Amino acid sequence: MPRRNVPTPTLVFEKSVPGRTGCNLPKADTPPVDLEAVLGETRADLVLPEISELDTVRHFTNLSQINYGIDTGFYPLGSCTMKYNPRINERTAQIPGFTHLHPMQPVETIQGALQILVGVQDILKEITGFDEICLQPVAGAHGEMTCLMLIKAYHEARGDAKRTVVLIPDSAHGTNPASAARCGYAVRSIPTDAEGVTDLGALEKALDDSVAGLMLTNPSTLGLFEPNIEAVCAMVHRAGGLVFCDGANMNAMVGTTRPGDHGFDCMHLNLHKTFSTPHGGGGPGCGAIGLKAHLAPFLPTPVVRKEGEAYVLDEDRPQSIGRVSPFFGQFLMEVRAYTYLMAYGRERMADISRYSVLNANYVMARLRDVLPPAHDRFCMHECVLTAKRYKQYGVRALDISKRLIDYGFHPPTNYFPLIVPEAMMIEPTETEGKDTLDRFCDAMIAICHEAETDPDLLHAAPISQIVGRLDETAAVKNLDVRWRA
Ligand SMILES: Cc1ncc(COP(=O)(O)O)c(C=O)c1O
């Protein structure tokens, strides 16, 4: 068990020793160039490090080992679907025929690439139950915004200008209201009831002819399947609104059930979650969208489709909302997702949702005595637990999460959804085995015991890392990655 006396690793950046060199270049056989004369001004103050090859290799290898990633350990960050990204995805994304493409090439020279895009679109249509798929958006939030632009274009095309409000449940991800606001909509919040599902009475009251649509996450951010989903969609449609599905949680449904069959008009998917393409720093991702035929006239252009034997870029869409991305979105993400989809195949696709739901329920069952679920029923691909009982010892969910780092695990999501006090949201994904889940649950149980017996240990955590607790807001708002001597 990690204690306070664990030696903290240190990292020395100043490794330069005058006269050392890491390269062994052959004697120059060209005349020397006077850089000052060529470039005008050279920076004498830029002192380059003098360092051997071995020291350089060790420096960067050590740096890479400080980072925590899905390749180094379990990453149960709820709502983020941190599943393993299979290496074969990277192999195909590195095929020179893909990496050497130029987006301005004539369409007849990029037929293979367009075939991949149409292939991804076709499979996603089948998985989601929508009539059209567009791969242009480069993030989940971008997909949300694109869907709202479609909804807006739909109402405008019908001359229905009075719809200025978007309804969003209070459990929604923060990007939902941000996307609605970005599209010029006012947001009306819909409460979640005691069972953790959308409050139908409150929804009924909020529906009037000012409502453009409802943004609904299913399964919700509480990890619960919305049991009244068809009724919800029908209510919104009766009031003249459309229903958008935040499909960031599609991992719970792949191959099992389809949002297009539930009554939704459109949805976004996060290929960088569900379909195993890498996450990172707000991109590069793919927030692909699916939509029903009545929204198809407004699709972003160019629409990539097959015409006879050829793949074409269809720009002839007079009602289109236009481009939402340069060229075709993140093409190599689509190559990775296509590889993943083809590797699974239609027959095994449901394993994704079955095992992700099984794993989340296993973790919930093992932890329920120390961290009870926010809502006591089977969860979908993630479980939301509450650490509120440890407040009496002065311990918060954040302290438990930070201590988990000392046990060698990435923390789960904390304090989201906002409606659960001391929320800890755990999403194991289908790619983890029982042994990993057991080690994680053992660590969580041990930490909860420490919370009662030695709360200061948790307050000091993490004690095993090069840095302790960061000012996370400042790290986001005032990121400064420059190293100074
Ligand atoms: C439920 C939900 N919706 C939307 C998003 C936004 O996706 P992205 O981060 O790709 O913009 C997320 C991201 O975590 C999410 O969890």
Q: In the prediction, which pLDDT does 231 show?
A: 96
Helix or strand holding residue 37 (H, E): helix 35-39
Banded model confidence at residue 9, pLDDT cuts 50, 70, 90:
low
Return residue ranges of the chain for CATH 3.40.640.10.
87-342
Compute, in angstroms, the gap from residue 417 CA to the centroid of ligand 1: 12
Banded model confidence at residue 23, pLDDT cuts 50, 70, 90:
confident
Q: In the prediction, which pLDDT does 279 show?
A: 84
Contacts of residue 444, defined as CB under 8 A and 6 or more positions apart, other chains included, come to 367, 370, 371, 400, 404
Q: In the prediction, which pLDDT does 434 show?
A: 98
Q: In the prediction, which pLDDT does 479 show?
A: 87
Across 97-101, average pLDDT: 95
Return residue ranges of the chain for CATH 3.90.1150.10.
349-477
Compute, in angstroms, the gap from residue 460 CA to the centroid of ligand 1: 31
Radius of gyration in angstroms for the set of CA atoms belonging to the chain, rounded to a whole number: 26
Share of the chain above pLDDT 90, in %: 83
Across 74-98, average pLDDT: 96
The tens digit of pLDDT for each residue in 233-254 reads 999 999 999 999 999 999 999 9
Residue nearest atom 6 in ligand 1 by C-alpha distance: 140
Record the tokens describing residue 429, joined without a space.
């994904």
Q: In the prediction, which pLDDT does 485 show?
A: 64
Q: In the prediction, which pLDDT does 261 show?
A: 98
Helix or strand holding residue 426 (H, E): strand 423-426
Across 98-111, average pLDDT: 95
Compute, in angstroms, the gap from residue 307 CA to the centroid of ligand 1: 34
* Whole-number Cα distances in Å, 220 to 102, 123, 230, 265, 478: 40, 24, 15, 17, 32
What is the b/e burial string over 359-396, where b = at least 16 CB atoms within 10 angstroms of the residue's CB? bbbbbbebbeebbebbbeeebbbbbbbbbbebeeeebb
Compute, in angstroms, the gap from residue 273 CA to the centroid of ligand 1: 9
CA 415 to chain centre: 17
Across 106-118, average pLDDT: 97
223: left (phi over 0), alpha (psi -120 to 50) or beta: left
Q: In the prediction, which pLDDT does 466 show?
A: 85
Share of the chain above pLDDT 70, in %: 97
Ligand 1 nearest atom to the CA of residue 80, by list position: 14
Q: In the prediction, which pLDDT does 313 show?
A: 96
Mean pLDDT of the residues in the chain: 94
Which letter does DSSP use for residue 252 in this model?
Answer: G
Across 441-469, average pLDDT: 96
Banded model confidence at residue 131, pLDDT cuts 50, 70, 90:
very high
The tens digit of pLDDT for each residue in 257-274 reads 999 999 999 999 999 999
Q: Does ligand 1 lie within 6 Å of residue 216's CB atom? A: no
Banded model confidence at residue 63, pLDDT cuts 50, 70, 90:
confident
The tens digit of pLDDT for each residue in 293-342 reads 999 999 999 999 999 999 999 999 999 999 999 888 899 999 999 999 99
Q: Does ligand 1 lie within 6 Å of residue 169's CB atom? A: no
Q: In the prediction, which pLDDT does 10 show?
A: 64
Record the tokens describing residue 323, joined without a space.
């481009």
Q: In the prediction, which pLDDT does 205 show?
A: 98
Banded model confidence at residue 484, pLDDT cuts 50, 70, 90:
confident
Neighbours of 108 (CB within 10 A): 9
Across 429-457, average pLDDT: 98
Q: Has residue 480 got a pLDDT over 90?
A: no
What 3-state DSSP class applies to 340? helix
| pTM greater than 0.85 (yes/no) | yes
> Is the CATH number 3.30.930.10 carried by domain 87-342?
no
Record the tokens describing residue 230, joined without a space.
């068809």
**Domain at 349-477: CATH code:** 3.90.1150.10
Q: Has residue 282 got a pLDDT over 90?
A: no
Residue nearest atom 9 in ligand 1 by C-alpha distance: 140
Banded model confidence at residue 8, pLDDT cuts 50, 70, 90:
low
Which letter does DSSP use for residue 45 in this model?
Answer: T
Q: In the prediction, which pLDDT does 280 show?
A: 65
Across 385-404, average pLDDT: 98
